[in-house]
């Protein structure tokens, strides 16, 4: 608990994390605003700490009332890929991703969930995922890059995220099949 409080204080004071978060919340507001009723975009929760077993995140919630002329497809087009996986400015960032990344992302960063016949949606962003192709497994991971990012730190973060997915799969494989993947 004491270590968690210290880590929370450090996270809340980290200029790089704060700058990245503010940029992404602004991008989220812009994305939601493209399909929301004018004046309905809100941020009911801002920079709240969410704790998980091995990580803490700064979290903000962006909401808006979908304008009557927009259906589920328009909402998806406006909000995916999420700025957290594309960057800002979004269009230019996606162009750079297309130019610089050596393989397609597939469903990584896409939407996973349900869309009801009434237009209701319950979706999440496909991260921390694994693609199985026969006996081969592929995972993707990334980190937020801003002006003052340290390339080694971001590369380490990406590797750690990918390792966590592989460890989870290995644990499941050992539990159910009594053999290790790693």
* Active-site choice (28, 29, 108, 109): 108
CA distance 131 to 5: 36
Active-site pick, 105, 128, 129, 173 = 128
Determine whether 174 is an active site residue: no
Based on the residue annotation, tell me whether 144 is a catalytic residue of this protein.
yes
Whole-angstrom distance, CA of residue 112 vs CA of residue 164: 20
The answer to whether the peptide bond before residue 13 is cis (omega within 30 degrees of 0) is: no
Catalytic residue among 37, 63, 84, 129: 84
> Residue 54 catalytic?
no
The answer to whether 178 is a known catalytic residue is no
Nearest to 128 by CA among 138, 115, 141, 119: 141
DSSP, collapsed to helix, strand or coil, labels residue 62 as strand
**Which residue out of 57, 77, 138, 159 is catalytically annotated?**
57
- Among 64, 87, 109, 144, the one annotated catalytic: 144
With CA atoms as reference, report the closest residue to 179 among 133, 132, 135.
Answer: 135
In the residue annotation, 134 being an active-site residue is answered as: no
Per-residue b/e over 67-90, b at no fewer than 16 CB within 10 Å?
Answer: eeebebeebeebbbbbbbbbbeee
Three-state SS at 82: coil
Catalytic residues: 57, 84, 108, 128, 144
């Amino acid at each position: 608990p004491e270590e968690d409080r210290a880590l929370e204080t450090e996270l809340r004071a980290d200029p790089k994390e704060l700058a990245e978060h503010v940029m992404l919340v602004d991008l989220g507001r812009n994305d939601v605003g493209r399909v929301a009723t004018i004046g309905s975009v809100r941020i009911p929760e801002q920079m709240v700490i969410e704790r998980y077993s091995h990580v803490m995140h700064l979290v903000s919630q962006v909401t808006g009332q979908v304008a009557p002329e927009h259906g589920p497809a328009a909402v998806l087009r406006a909000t995916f890929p999420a700025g957290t996986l594309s960057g800002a400015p979004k269009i230019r960032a996606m162009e750079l991703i297309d130019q610089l990344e050596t393989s397609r992302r597939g469903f990584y960063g896409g939407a996973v969930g349900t869309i009801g016949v009434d237009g209701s949606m319950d979706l999440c962003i496909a991260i921390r995922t694994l693609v199985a192709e026969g006996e081969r497994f592929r995972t993707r991971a990334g980190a937020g890059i801003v002006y003052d990012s340290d390339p080694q730190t971001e590369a380490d973060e990406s590797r750690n995220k990918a390792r966590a997915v592989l460890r989870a799969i290995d644990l499941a494989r050992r539990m159910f099949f009594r053999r290790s993947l790693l």
